[in-house]
Structure 1
Amino acid sequence: MKNSIIIVLFFLSLQSFSQKIQTKLGPGIDLKNEDVNSIFNLWKNYLSSNPDLIYDNPNWNDSEKKKYKSYDLLKSEGFLNPSIYALQPLNTVLYINEFGNDYIIHSMYYWINEDNTLNPLAITNVVAKKENGVFKLYNYLPFYTNVWKSKQVGMINYNYPNDYIFDNENAQKADKLLHKLNELFDLDLKNLTYYIARDCDEIHKMKGFEYIISMGRTPSLCRFYDTQNSIVYSSSKIGEYDMHELIHVINAKYTKAHYLLLSGLATYTNDKSASFGKPFLYYIDRIQNYIDANLGIDLADFEKLPQIDEIDAYYFVGALITDIILEKGGIDLLKEALNSGVEDKDLLQFLEKKVGLNKQKLDSLLKNKFKKASQNQNFTFRINY
């Protein structure tokens, strides 16, 4: 639903693999040009120096390493999981062109299939400019949004196109929500950067993805939260108050939380934008229809939760597990659950020990909650934002 692509490759489970990406030069690039030659070697060195890791990489500029925790925005979450670098594709520099006093590196990431056909993954734009007389790499985002408007509302710094009509009332609601989240979940959030793009494809492009395999899919619903850098990327259809992504600010605090709880919390609201443009009960009905047609489904088997058309069922299973925990012990028990571990066994053990639900009872209770909410067309949320 957030227009991200999760790619599962068996070899990626081997975390000891170094991310050294092979890079070659596309035809027609003049390496006799001293600047172009320096920039190509800079990019080649970067891609061969474990770019998926966060460290003081000498190929990246110092100012962005200070500004962002994950300074290369191409690798922060939202588009590919694992990141484009961790997928270890091949890379070809298509061309390097001047951009004022700077240069833009356009390169393609791809795999070669067994039948020798090309499997393209992405085309990215990365900026090269001089820092103390030496070329360094820079994100494309500040260059793309350089002429955009900016507005500070409370702790949120909004950035949006010049032709976008800003809604101050929704911005105030967003700031109020962040203060409430700070209070409820013991956060220490002081500022948040928020980009409002025209559509989903522009979110990709402004971050530096000229092309990526998820482009063109449900563009009006594309948005995500960059946990490491406290950045919300949303679209003009949702605007200043993207409640789903704003709730995700808790992710940075609760790093030991199971994904079902984090995803469920962001969906656990009657705000229409938080449930992907439709009311919460709309998706409850769709999932209940699936349960009725697949009576053998086990909702406590988290690895096998289905995708129903465009709906990832785990969001709403997570929301109902959140509701179960809140019903048992309120916000304090929920915070305890958020610290209980990231593995399926951790969450299941917590639910059995603290809530009294083994897997069989959890499956039964979840199905009862889906059925009751669908039949009554009513659901009471136990957190008031």
Structure 2
Amino acid sequence: MKPLLSFISILLAANSYAQIYLNPGVDTSLTEVKQALRFYNKYVADFNGKAIPDMAKYWPQSELKLRKVPDQMIYAINDYPLYSMGCRLTILYIRPTANYVHIKTQFSVPDSQKNVMTMAITNYYVAFDKIHEPYFKNPMTEALAKWRTKTVRNIIYHYPPYHIFNAKRADTLVRNIAGLEKEWGLKPININYYLANNKDELYQVQGFDYTVMMGNKAAPSGKSDDKDNQVFCGGLGENYFHEVVHLYLNHLYPKSPLQEGLAVFYAGSMGHSVKWHLKRVTQYLNKHPEADLTDVDNFWYTDPFTNPSSAIQGMICSMVFKKEGVPGLKRLMQYNSYKDIFKKEFNIDKEQINAFLRKSIADESVK
């Protein structure tokens, strides 16, 4: 299971959409501030459940030409809209400037002791057209104006001025992509690829001061967005094949529990191969005989460098591929549950899963 997903599922049950509060000291007396605040309130309320509002009502055509979903702060944590998570929204300050009204918002939830847990802090810019109708300016567009771009095959790279473009790594990525297209009979996808030294820098470019996914021990990480065919890669430069695999294959099997595993099988995770991660999982399991792997998704964290659930998923894909190649993978990805995967692919019942996975992990980590 991805980090925080269990916690987020609890949040989702709390409210349909958030309400907005003002931090003490926020001045709303100016006319343009009042208008910007009404506009922002309307936008937030338009997120009804999982629905994404009509972006054309809030964003200019120049932004809609770049992305179907120009608001890059919606998916701060996972694929569920930030505004539909039941968070409390507190506007920390509103600052009018010559070009727009800057709204900084804290998204938070209380824990069991009523302490505030901050999920994200966002920055929205509300500008006004010639007839004084409000619209959002995209902080990402503003930030990227200072970045550089380079196109290699079907990849448009975007990178900060300090970065020296590595053509060899880019060539390796496009060779991997060409191989994936050939194996799966797919056509090239035009991809916008954003890279930086770490994920925190990428979140800041998107418009965040903070998200709960920032900080901690620095390790290569990435995020894919199949709505607009873009990837965000921190720490592995021009060759983060893992996230590109998601763009190509996720939509083929939207209900498969092994989407992450397929990407790990083809491209590893956090800069390391499946085998590397399985060795770490083996070491952990040897020290923790009490760990139960029956529910794969609930075994998702050991340390900042390995997600054991992802490693196990990648291992399952690898085991099937060794026997039957891509045809086997295509069959494997059609299952919608782990129950079917273990029973139909390995003839394993639920009560046998823990022992089966422990042995498989130990065996595959040394092959």
Q: What is the alpha-carbon distance in structure 2 between the residues aligned to residue 350 and residue 280 of structure 1?
A: 19
5+ residue gaps, structure 1: 379-385
Within a 5 Å distance, the mapping from 1:236-251 to structure 2 comes to 237-251=235-249
SS in 1 for 2:93: strand
Q: What is the alpha-carbon distance in structure 1 between the residues aligned to residue 23 and residue 31 of structure 2?
A: 17
Cα 1:354–1:132 change in 2 (3 A) is farther
5+ residue gaps, structure 2: none
Q: What is the alpha-carbon distance in structure 1 between the residues aligned to residue 157 and residue 229 of structure 2?
A: 12
User: Residue 102 of structure 1 contacts residue 130 of structure 1 at CA under 8 Å; is this kept in 2?
Assistant: yes
Pairwise CA distance, 1:60: 1.9
Q: What is the alpha-carbon distance in structure 1 between the residues aligned to residue 296 and residue 113 of structure 2?
A: 35
**Residue of structure 2 equivalent to 1:382:** none
**Residue of structure 2 equivalent to 1:105:** 103
Q: What is the alpha-carbon distance in structure 1 between the residues aligned to residue 346 and residue 130 of structure 2?
A: 59
User: Residue 328 of structure 1 contacts residue 355 of structure 1 at CA under 8 Å; is this kept in 2?
Assistant: no
User: Residue 169 of structure 2 contacts residue 239 of structure 2 at CA under 8 Å; is this kept in 1?
Assistant: yes
Q: Does 1:36 align with 2:36?
A: no
User: Residue 47 of structure 2 contacts residue 53 of structure 2 at CA under 8 Å; is this kept in 1?
Assistant: no
**Residue of structure 1 equivalent to 2:7:** 8
1:88-146 deviation digits (Å, cap 9, x = unpaired): 21212222335662333211122345655433222101222235631112432111111
Q: Does 1:263 align with 2:260?
A: yes
Cα 1:103–1:146 change in 2 (3 A) is farther
Q: What is the alpha-carbon distance in structure 2 between the residues aligned to residue 122 and residue 13 of structure 1?
A: 15
Cα 1:305–1:195 change in 2 (3 A) is same
SS in 2 for 1:137: strand
Q: Does 1:314 align with 2:309?
A: yes
**Residue of structure 2 equivalent to 1:277:** 271
User: Residue 265 of structure 1 contacts residue 322 of structure 1 at CA under 8 Å; is this kept in 2?
Assistant: yes
Please report the RMSD computed on the Cα atoms of aligned residues, expressed in angstroms: 3.0
Match of 1:302, as an amino acid? V
User: Residue 256 of structure 1 contacts residue 338 of structure 1 at CA under 8 Å; is this kept in 2?
Assistant: no
User: Residue 45 of structure 1 contacts residue 59 of structure 1 at CA under 8 Å; is this kept in 2?
Assistant: no
Tell me the matched-pair count.
363
Cα 1:179–1:113 change in 2 (3 A) is same
**Residue of structure 2 equivalent to 1:48:** 45
Compare 211-220 and 54-63 and name the one that shifted more. 54-63
Question: How high is the sequence identity, in percent, across the aligned residues?
Answer: 22
SS in 2 for 1:240: coil
Pairwise CA distance, 1:326: 1.8
User: Residue 325 of structure 1 contacts residue 355 of structure 1 at CA under 8 Å; is this kept in 2?
Assistant: no
Pairwise CA distance, 1:296: 5.4
Cα 1:252–1:71 change in 2 (3 A) is farther
Q: Normalized against structure 2, the TM-score is what?
A: 0.86
Q: Does 1:191 align with 2:182?
A: no
User: Residue 12 of structure 2 contacts residue 85 of structure 2 at CA under 8 Å; is this kept in 1?
Assistant: no
Q: In structure 2, which of residues 325, 328, 332 is the aligned counterpart of residue 337 of structure 1?
A: 332
Pairwise CA distance, 1:322: 0.5
Q: What is the alpha-carbon distance in structure 2 between the residues aligned to residue 161 and residue 194 of structure 1?
A: 12
Cα 1:367–1:32 change in 2 (3 A) is closer
1:6-25 deviation digits (Å, cap 9, x = unpaired): 3525655659x532x21123
Q: In structure 1, which of residues 286, 292, 296 is the aligned counterpart of residue 280 of structure 2?
A: 286
Pairwise CA distance, 1:320: 1.4
Q: What is the alpha-carbon distance in structure 2 between the residues aligned to residue 210 and residue 282 of structure 1?
A: 34
Cα 1:338–1:365 change in 2 (3 A) is same
User: Residue 201 of structure 1 contacts residue 219 of structure 1 at CA under 8 Å; is this kept in 2?
Assistant: no
Cα 1:167–1:100 change in 2 (3 A) is farther
Q: What is the alpha-carbon distance in structure 1 between the residues aligned to residue 320 and residue 130 of structure 2?
A: 55
SS in 2 for 1:8: helix
User: Residue 288 of structure 1 contacts residue 370 of structure 1 at CA under 8 Å; is this kept in 2?
Assistant: yes
1:32-72 deviation digits (Å, cap 9, x = unpaired): 32222211111111112226522315652142345434342
Q: What is the alpha-carbon distance in structure 2 between the residues aligned to residue 185 and residue 257 of structure 1?
A: 18
User: Residue 230 of structure 1 contacts residue 249 of structure 1 at CA under 8 Å; is this kept in 2?
Assistant: yes
SS in 2 for 1:275: coil
User: Residue 104 of structure 1 contacts residue 126 of structure 1 at CA under 8 Å; is this kept in 2?
Assistant: yes
